[in-house]
Amino acid sequence: MSTSNLRVKKQQNLLPPKQYLDNQPITDEIASVVSNSRKSIENILDGKDERILVVVGPCSIHDEVACLEYAKRLKKLSDEVNNTLLLVMRVYFEKPRTTVGWKGLINDPNLNGTYDIENGLKRARNFFLEVNKLGLGCGTEFLDPISPQYYADLVSWGAIGARTTESQTHRQMASGLSMPIGFKNSTTGDCQIAADAIVSCGSEHSFLGIDNDGKASIIHTTGNKYGHIILRGGKVPNYEESYVKEAKELLTNNSLPENIIVDCSHGNSNKDHKRQPIVFENVINQRINGNKNIVGIMLESHINEGNQKLNNPADLDYGVSITDACIDWNTTEKILLEANKKLSK
């Protein structure tokens, strides 16, 4: 009589990370882009670089052609604003869901419930390679604790989302990741869990994982000293000066670096993408008025504004999000150029 896997419908083998890394190798040129981008972000967090980190791009990647077009536009804009803003493209392949829904291109690359994860990992790694090849760093959310082995070598900045910041699994994982990691406050607005996560992330851990050969392993980490908080709003927005001050005091009281990134979307925009520029301008003005604790900003942006429902993949509009609503490219370019002009004075 069996007592295990009673609710497992099917199991299938997955190729080990090493096979993906060998088949889709990181070149010396791309490795240099990743390393330089990571170092620039670390310098911002260390106060050695006064630029503001801006993680900007689609809520999620579902159409690589449209998103690569976006990346090319962003690279051109990055070169124009590089004196004041360090642009990193938001490249999100894993989507946490409050209940159920499309979980991202890795989980369901065909957008039709076939869950071809093996192909999803291949397509995700290829897209990371293509964006880095442009000379543009990539930022992503780490959700599944196994998937980083397949593509983390191509990521310059990472986030742990509001639903997983309190998770020990994700805190341990972050302690071993090779790039700076931002922790979002909870969906209710609790920032203490993010501070706790930063403390945990900076510590050594030992936990179960897989190695590059796909074998079950015990992972021992050194700790990641580049953890930081992301204010994403909660029951109420928390981007305004008083909330930023509270977050700074929280970090101080927990003996943590006083580095704050503000997410202009989600709870801070009341889930209205058209409010993102308002939040962005407020945060930029706080920085201009002397608040050096604000080291970064996040924006959800695509070629075209808004979002669309995922029904028939063949009927989807080009360059429009299928998850959170985004601001369009023209708006993105306008507010970033305006910010660069203000910060250059």
Residue 59 pLDDT > 90, yes or no? yes
Flag whether the pTM goes above 0.85: yes
Domain boundaries, the chain: 17-322
Nearest to 89 by CA among 103, 63, 68: 68
- Each residue of 4-20: pLDDT tens digit? 999 999 999 999 999 99
Average pLDDT estimate for 287-302: 98
Contact 90, 139 (CB under 8 A): yes
- Helix, strand, coil % over all residues of the chain, rounded to 5: 40, 15, 45
17-322 is classed CATH 3.30.310.80: no
- Each residue of 200-257: pLDDT tens digit? 999 999 999 999 999 999 999 999 999 999 999 999 999 999 999 999 999 999 999 9
Contact 62, 95 (CB under 8 A): no
- Each residue of 264-281: pLDDT tens digit? 999 999 999 999 999 999
- Please give the pLDDT value at position 101: 87
